[in-house]
Amino acid sequence: MTGNRSFNLCEINKILAPILGTTLIVKIQSSILLSSAVIFLGFNQPVLAEEGVERAERFLNIEKGRIRLKDASGKLVEPLANHGQKATVLFFLTTECPIGNLYSPEINRIVEHYKKQGVTCHAVYAHETLAEIKKHRSEYKLSLSALLDPEVKLAKLPGATVMPEACVLGQDGKILYRGRIDDRAVKFGTVRMEPRVQDLRLALDAVLAGKPVAQKFTKPIGCYISCPEPSLPKQSK
């Protein structure tokens, strides 16, 4: 592996689809081999190269008023647009990840605490139907807005790869923080009773105080975000 290039599943899919076919790719992704490949290729890098961050921020700036996603009520929302908020937090979630569900109470506490200080929060779901999202929100009493992102547009822009993962964006589209909510989840099967470091809260406190975030990227633990199946090129007769 050379340089600091970080790959994501969309890039791998696009490369392999014409060679292996979509069906085989799906089987590989759901196998243990992909889990090993994820670690080896660095999909879950806690820190991007600086040029990667700058490139992501440029795209975020461009896309701020372009990305429109449906919320749980079917209304189109522009989650990156500037509505006067001091910061925007994107929580990348899924209904089936036990670690993500464990964080539901803390996510609600963060939403309630920081909305009074001008912070807007969205839960972003990539793989669920509207009915599944509504059931999940009800079951775990999630108080923040939910967005359907079947093309994983929001995940790809800041470089999110895991659910749960949080991303804090400034008014100018800069990535101020991306990573874990706190350090309770050590690894799958190992969870602390209480966190030692509340990374997301520390990041938000710094942003609201006008200070730089001390730890801009942290490594989240959870379920990997997969991309939609790529369409295969048409075969010429």
Name the least confident of 9-13, 148-152, 179-183, 221-225: 9-13
Question: How far is residue 57's CA from residue 15's CA, in Å, rounded to a whole number?
Answer: 25
pLDDT value, residue 211: 96
Strands (E), the chain: 69-71, 76-77, 87-93, 119-125, 145-148, 162-163, 165-169, 175-179, 185-187, 190-191, 223-224
Task: Determine the pLDDT at residue 182.
Answer: 97
Question: Model's pTM, two decimal places?
Answer: 0.72
pLDDT for residue 156: 87
The 10s digit of each residue's pLDDT in 10-38 is: 444 455 445 555 444 444 443 333 333 33
Helices (H), 42-103: 50-63, 98-102
pLDDT in tens, 116-167: 999 999 999 998 999 999 999 999 999 999 999 998 988 888 889 999 999 9
The fraction of the chain above a pLDDT of 90, given in percent, is 50
Range 107-123 average pLDDT: 96
The pLDDT, as a whole number, for residue 2 is 41
pLDDT score of 15: 52
User: Is the model's pLDDT at 217 over the cut of 90?
Assistant: yes
Distance CA 92, CA 154 (A): 9
**Pick from 27-31, 81-85, 201-205: least confident:** 27-31
pLDDT at position 131: 92
71 CA to centre of own chain? 16
* Beta-sheet strand order (sheet of 76-77): 76-77, 69-71, 145-148, 119-125, 87-93, 165-169, 175-179
Domains and CATH numbers, the chain: 44-224 (3.40.30.10)
* Closest-CA residue to 16 (of 27, 1, 6): 27
| Torsional sign, CA 18, 24, 29, 34 | negative
pLDDT given at position 42: 33
Q: What is the pLDDT of residue 66?
A: 72
Find the mean pLDDT for residues 59-64: 49
- Going 176 to 181 to 184 to 185, the CA torsion angle's sign is negative
Q: What is the pLDDT of residue 214?
A: 95
Bigger pLDDT: 63 vs 149: 149
217 and 95 Cβ atoms separated by less than 8 Å: no
pLDDT at residue number 228: 63
